[in-house]
């Protein structure tokens, strides 16, 4: 049975930058402890024979027929790069803005 200490609650409140009253600290300590105890029950469940599930809908990736996948080195990309005032190795070259 896990119990969240008052010091842990104070530390979490400090990280979250919130102020808690003593009454709230006690309340959250009890509530978080209760949540953690409930989650710990999952460790008691035997999952050895349970098959892992990636998705449950049975759907496969579906692409629309009107979508054309283009090669990154397509003619359009080359045309755009040819219009650039400055380029280097298939990339736009821009002025440095940070030291």
What does the domain layout of the chain look like in residue ranges? Answer: 6-44
Higher pLDDT, 58 or 48: 48
- In this prediction, what percent of the chain has a pLDDT beyond 90? 31
User: Could you give the CA distance from residue 12 to residue 8 in angstroms, rounded to a whole number?
Assistant: 6
Tell me the mean pLDDT in the region 83-99: 86
Tell me, what's the pLDDT at 62? 72
CATH architecture type of domain 6-44: Orthogonal Bundle (1.10)
Tell me the mean pLDDT in the region 29-41: 91
User: Could you give the CA distance from residue 68 to residue 76 in angstroms, rounded to a whole number?
Assistant: 14
Tell me, what's the pLDDT at 29? 93
Tell me the mean pLDDT in the region 90-97: 86
Cβ contact 23:9 at 8 Å: no
């Amino acid at each position: 049975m896990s119990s969240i200490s008052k010091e842990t609650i104070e530390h979490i409140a400090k990280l979250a930058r919130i102020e808690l009253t003593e009454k709230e600290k006690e309340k959250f300590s009890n509530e978080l402890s209760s949540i953690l105890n409930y989650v710990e029950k999952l460790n008691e469940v035997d999952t050895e024979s349970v098959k892992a599930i990636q998705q449950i809908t049975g759907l496969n990736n579906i692409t629309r027929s009107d979508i054309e996948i283009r090669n990154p080195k397509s003619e359009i990309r080359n045309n755009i790069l040819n219009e650039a005032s400055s380029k280097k190795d298939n990339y736009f070259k821009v002025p440095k803005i940070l030291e």
